[in-house]
Structure 1
Amino acid sequence: MTGQASTETRYDVIIVGSGAGAMTAAVFAADAGLSVLMIEKTAQYGGTSAISGGGIWIPNNHHFQAKGGGDSFDKAWTYLKAAVGDRVDEARLRAYLEQAPRMVRELEQCSRVRFAVAEKYPDYYPHLPGALPGGRSLDPEIFDASVLEEEFDNLRPASPTTLLMGKIAWTARQAHKAMSRSFGWRFVLLGLMLRYRLDFKWRRKTDLDRRTALGASLVASLRRSLMDRQVPLWLRTDFRELLVTEGRVSGVRVERDGELIELHASRGVILGSGGFEHNQALRERYLPKPTNAAWSATPPGANTGAALEAALAEGAATDLMEHGWWAPTIAVPGEEKPRPIFAERAFPGSIVVNGRGQRFVNEAAPYLEFVAAMYRDNQATDGQSLPAWVIFDARFRFRYAMGPLMPSQIMPDDRLPADWLGNLYFKADTLDALAQQIGVDSAGLQASVARLNGFARTGQDLEFGRGGNVFDRYYGSVDVKPNPCLAPLDQAPFYAMRMDAGDIGTKGGLLTNEHAQVLLANGEVIEGLYAIGNTSASVFGTTYPGAGGTLGPAMTFGYIAARHLSGQR
């Protein structure tokens, strides 16, 4: 099915992209009796979804309801309106809140996809009305990818960031237990490592874990569901432009095996091929400066905005083009893309500073807000916050991870690659010597650390409120008192790592309506054309309401688009 030779060029639906949103659309379109073709420009399917955490933010979902959760449409509406305001058409917001729970329930009924509720993962803006301390984010269950058979080799490998020790699959719930050092966390790690080590038969084939989790689990279970339906997926098929007949999008032109092919779609085309973060020219045109595609944590060579540009050529409207799904990143020597830093910023015993050695943000803040603060401070300090620097001491180094650095109790410094020192991380016996190595103002850094150490003793961050809300404390260390996100930096040696203003995708894109149809500037629809995921402008406006705020809408509007073009309402 993948990449097989075929002379067929006519389908009911053509889907551009192979992430979770695109695959969800394909499942429901196929189940509506439509012939479906998926095309993917790279040699691997899954896109950014496969290397992500795989969570989906679904208010009022049935898993939380089954556990007695107190969510409702009205609570979610109150929260989203408080977060998003009037930035997004209310019809789109309402469509999302109404259809997202239905999408999950129906997807689990008809496919191999399974979720569990993350009861303790709070919404990202806990101070807003309608926010919940958990229950709206769903975590994919472990999926045995060996059932993919030959398709296992075409699955985009999970990012090392999402794997225990860079190789072992674990759920977000298991990762949280270990990172927060909650009761029983050592047994969780031991069980995961034993499960991997004892899988002798599979490990004779590959070092990759047979079990997938997070985004890899979501994509693998969706791909197996499409294989069950015999939906073809063409890899190495480069989308070039839209075909338009009498004002209606009727197909796509692609390049495959060096040949230009016209593929016709009688019902419609769904664009689900990601954003434009790997198109430096588009970044320079739209995103805040400075900007660099090399800072993005998404797969290089993908997400170049080809679908966006094709739709723009047909007069499509756009929105939110200056915004990204921001996340600070750390570049690792020899790796194809940098690693996003999500949880580690909340661990106690670290500090993030600009070139003046000054803090500029609550280190444990949501990742979108963190990078937004980097840009604001960079402007206010004449370029002193890009890059920023995370500083930590020997106590932190022993107990916690920071990007690719596993805790030194597992991976001491003498076991790290030699070329990482002075490149990936810097190390010195004093803060003054460390500041000189990384070009940060020494007096400013020492003063900032001294203030933070005082806050750690009292448990109150009087500058930025770190650890002062339920979201911050989610990844805090439960055995650190009185504030699980604050500990002093006072044990030499001291360490520093560079943080860039990275992203996990762009946020702006084609403007769509509540049916996922692409709109013209005058508000009329482009018949036959749909956009979902990061190809479309986010339904959440400039905000990021909770974990899974990218994949939740991508899959929901994939479901909506499939139902709409199949004639279901």
Structure 2
Amino acid sequence: MEQAQEYDLVVVGSGAGALLGAVVALDAGMSVLIVEKTEVLGGTSATSGGGIWIPDNHDMASNGLRDSVDAAFRYVKACAKGLSSDDRVLAYVETAREMARYLKTIGIPYRSMAKYADYYPHIEGSMPGGRSMDPADYNAAKLGVDGLKLLRETNPGQLIMGRMTINAFDAHVVLAREKGAKWLLTRIMLKYLLDYPWRFKTKRDRRLTGGQALVGGLLTALRKRRNVDIWVNSPLQSLERDGNRVTGVVVEHQGKAVKVRARRAVLLGAGGFERNQAMREAYLPKPTDVEWTATPVGCNTGDAIRAGADAGGQLHLMSHVWGGPTMSVPREDKYRAILVERSLPGCMAVNAAGKRFVDESCPYPEFQQAMYASHARGEAAVPAWIVFDARFRQNYPIGAMPPGGAIPDHRLRKSWLGEVYWKADTLEQLAAQIGVDPDGLVASAKRMTEFARTGKDLDFDRGGNVFDRYYGDASVTPNPNLAPIDQGPFYAIRIYPGEIGTKGGLLTDRDARVLDDAGKPIEGLYCVGNNSASVMGPAYPGAGSTLGPAMTFAYRAIAHLSGKPIALQRTDLLEAQRAPQLDEAQA
């Protein structure tokens, strides 16, 4: 085994949490090595929407919004359902806004999404908008073409016509068909098509948005700093220990096992385990299949989770995922997540009985959980089906299918029929093709059509809250999420209970230190992102609840490692939570 040089900090993984931790460490004067198992950087973060969930953030005031640590703490604590420590929750809601301001100082400004509601509007402390933030568009020229080649490409579903990027603000205008949507879409396409100097260099859009903007900005920040090395194609093999202290790593680098000493610490940020079928079988609800996940192939195989556990780290939340329905698309290397199109009016989700089992416009983790719940009741909802009519097909995108008004059926690949989508003149014929009960399907469509007329979904209250309505069609009344399903031909796509990542991993404290089975920190070992157990417990409080904590706890980790730990300010909230527990125990 070769002995490599020493670094102050070794970072395992290259997602947002890992890269942000590296940048902060460099600013603190440390030497840093980043090891990444694949040939490109960015992990799942680069393929994500790039959003971060930041309570009481610096941009809320510009939108006339007010928030507080108190409200955010109550909200996240309720969401976590006792599966995340109160001090860790407080650490997040206090520090996230500071981390977001730091992103701005290193050239990655974020904007508050004033109309994007928290995912659980019924829980005390939720906000009707403003906590989720989207990164400003980033000019790839700052990173350079060579740097862009190192940045993992985004998912096809986040591109217009497979080429052009779009940010969350513009996507909302287009999907909700707000005023000016067509002109906005035209402008985005023209800007890309006319950017000839850049297009001679690469087919990738100069305009980086979402996770591409975030990771592109972080890579640019790294390139501006000294004292950092990056090894790609270098998977982690194990952690080195001296007693209870982690002292370094063993990685495979250039075909050899190399031991690297970490003078101060190792930071794990290598994602979850959704790409490991054996771990899925061991921990996740059944049925489960590695093919259903929407995360990049070759990433998130649980290597760093297992290495941390071998070093004595405690595992937590291993049966939970950041769930979402996914679909298979030929020639794409991974399943495609169906995150927002379900909100558009004129579609419904059904099980094998042809019955609806969920509010189709609900947050995607709730949708995935509803699939499993329906399946557990013997209703065969794995897979399930999204059914829609000709009106929906004409006006809206769904999965891999653009609106029929832009790409009619005859221009879709012929091989897609019966594999990506199913089509029939009547609902009964469609039911026969997809293997669902025809009477149930016809009855569900008839009931949905009546709900569209009255504007009230009596079964699941679709469109009955501010979150549902965000991705509804603003031109549809009386309910932007409901439209008749009565105009043939009829269509269906098949969906599976996939995910955008697992949320179980190594249990950490408020400074991202890995805890052992006795609840004590393992010296020299920190962990962030989906490599760690989520601070959100089993829930998904709002858009950006993965990347926000990943970077916030990386920020806290480096502060602690630098000897300047970030103290909790509102400890009175922790005391207020302890009092009822004491009373309850005494009773």
Q: Which residue of structure 1 aligns with residue 196 of structure 2?
A: 200
Write out per-residue CA displacement over residues 425-470 of structure 1, whole angstroms, 9 at most, x where no aligned residue. 0110011111111111111111111111111110000000100000
- Equivalent of residue 452 in structure 1, options 439, 448, 453: 448
CA contact (8 A) 2:319 2:504 kept: yes
Q: Which residue of structure 2 aligns with residue 252 of structure 1?
A: 249
Alignment partners' CA distance in 2, 1:48 and 1:539: 19
Give 1:8 shift. Answer: 5.2
CA contact (8 A) 1:64 1:119 kept: yes
Q: Which residue of structure 1 aligns with residue 29 of structure 2?
A: 33
Q: Which residue of structure 1 aligns with residue 90 of structure 2?
A: 94
Counterpart code for 1:240: Q
Unaligned stretches of 5+ residues in structure 1 = 1-5
Q: Which residue of structure 1 aligns with residue 51 of structure 2?
A: 55
Q: Which residue of structure 1 aligns with residue 378 of structure 2?
A: 381
Is 1:120–2:115 an aligned residue pair? yes
Structure 1 SS opposite 2:235: strand
Write out per-residue CA displacement over residues 304-355 of structure 1, whole angstroms, 9 at most, x where no aligned residue. 0001111111221111100000010011001001111111000000010001
Alignment partners' CA distance in 1, 2:454 and 2:344: 17
Q: Which residue of structure 2 aligns with residue 355 of structure 1?
A: 352
Once the two structures are overlaid, the 10-residue window that deviates more, 165-174 or 263-272, is 165-174
Q: Which stretches of structure 1, 4 residues or more, deviate above 6 A after TM superposition? A: none
CA contact (8 A) 1:252 1:262 kept: yes
Matches for 1:371-520 after TM superposition, within 5 Å:
371-381=368-378, 384-520=380-516
Counterpart code for 1:270: L
Give 1:206 shift. Answer: 2.4
Structure 2 SS opposite 1:260: strand
CA contact (8 A) 2:327 2:495 kept: yes
CA contact (8 A) 1:65 1:71 kept: no
Q: Which residue of structure 1 aligns with residue 235 of structure 2?
A: 238
Is 1:283–2:280 an aligned residue pair? yes
Matches for 1:101-250 after TM superposition, within 5 Å:
101-109=97-105, 111-149=106-144, 150-230=146-226, 231-250=228-247
CA contact (8 A) 1:137 1:547 kept: yes
Alignment partners' CA distance in 1, 2:134 and 2:3: 39
Give 1:247 shift. Answer: 2.0
Alignment partners' CA distance in 2, 1:328 and 1:355: 16
Give 1:7 shift. Answer: 8.5
Counterpart code for 1:121: Y
Alignment partners' CA distance in 1, 2:20 and 2:453: 49
Alignment partners' CA distance in 1, 2:242 and 2:550: 27
Structure 2 SS opposite 1:496: strand
Give 1:170 shift. Answer: 1.5
Q: Which residue of structure 1 aligns with residue 575 of structure 2?
A: none
Alignment partners' CA distance in 1, 2:240 and 2:62: 46
CA contact (8 A) 1:251 1:263 kept: yes
Give 1:568 shift. Answer: 1.5
- Equivalent of residue 537 in structure 1, options 520, 533, 542: 533
State the number of aligned residues: 562
Alignment partners' CA distance in 1, 2:298 and 2:120: 33
Alignment partners' CA distance in 2, 1:145 and 1:306: 31
CA contact (8 A) 1:15 1:269 kept: yes
Is 1:521–2:526 an aligned residue pair? no
Alignment partners' CA distance in 1, 2:551 and 2:395: 37
Counterpart code for 1:122: A
Structure 1 SS opposite 2:371: helix
Once the two structures are overlaid, the 10-residue window that deviates more, 516-525 or 225-234, is 225-234
Percent identity over the alignment? 51
Is 1:84–2:80 an aligned residue pair? yes
Q: Which residue of structure 2 aligns with residue 3 of structure 1?
A: none
Give 1:389 shift. Answer: 0.2
- Equivalent of residue 317 in structure 2, options 303, 316, 320: 320
Write out per-residue CA displacement over residues 29-68 of structure 1, whole angstroms, 9 at most, x where no aligned residue. 1100000111100011000000100000000000113433
Alignment partners' CA distance in 1, 2:9 and 2:349: 48
Alignment partners' CA distance in 1, 2:389 and 2:62: 44
Alignment partners' CA distance in 2, 1:405 and 1:67: 34
Give 1:197 shift. Answer: 0.8
Give 1:82 shift. Answer: 2.4
Alignment partners' CA distance in 2, 1:68 and 1:357: 45
Counterpart code for 1:337: K
Alignment partners' CA distance in 2, 1:344 and 1:457: 21
- Equivalent of residue 9 in structure 1, options 5, 11, 14: 5
Alignment partners' CA distance in 1, 2:77 and 2:244: 35
Structure 1 SS opposite 2:59: helix
Q: Which residue of structure 2 aligns with residue 329 of structure 1?
A: 326
Give 1:207 shift. Answer: 2.0
Give 1:165 shift. Answer: 2.5
Unaligned stretches of 5+ residues in structure 2 = 566-587
Counterpart code for 1:325: W
Alignment partners' CA distance in 2, 1:151 and 1:528: 31
Structure 2 SS opposite 1:500: strand
Alignment partners' CA distance in 1, 2:378 and 2:360: 18
Alignment partners' CA distance in 2, 1:105 and 1:66: 15
- Equivalent of residue 270 in structure 2, options 269, 273, 276: 273
Structure 2 SS opposite 1:237: coil
Alignment partners' CA distance in 2, 1:396 and 1:22: 41
Q: Quote the RMSD (CA, aligned, Å).
A: 1.1
Counterpart code for 2:126: A
| TM-score when normalising by structure 1 | 0.97
Alignment partners' CA distance in 2, 1:195 and 1:232: 36
Structure 2 SS opposite 1:41: coil
Alignment partners' CA distance in 1, 2:244 and 2:348: 56
Structure 1 SS opposite 2:192: helix
Write out per-residue CA displacement over residues 403-428 of structure 1, whole angstroms, 9 at most, x where no aligned residue. 11000111111111111111100110
Structure 1 SS opposite 2:497: coil
Alignment partners' CA distance in 2, 1:72 and 1:51: 31
Write out per-residue CA displacement over residues 79-127 of structure 1, whole angstroms, 9 at most, x where no aligned residue. 2222223221001001001111011112211x12111111111000011
Structure 2 SS opposite 1:30: helix
Structure 2 SS opposite 1:62: coil
Alignment partners' CA distance in 2, 1:525 and 1:78: 26
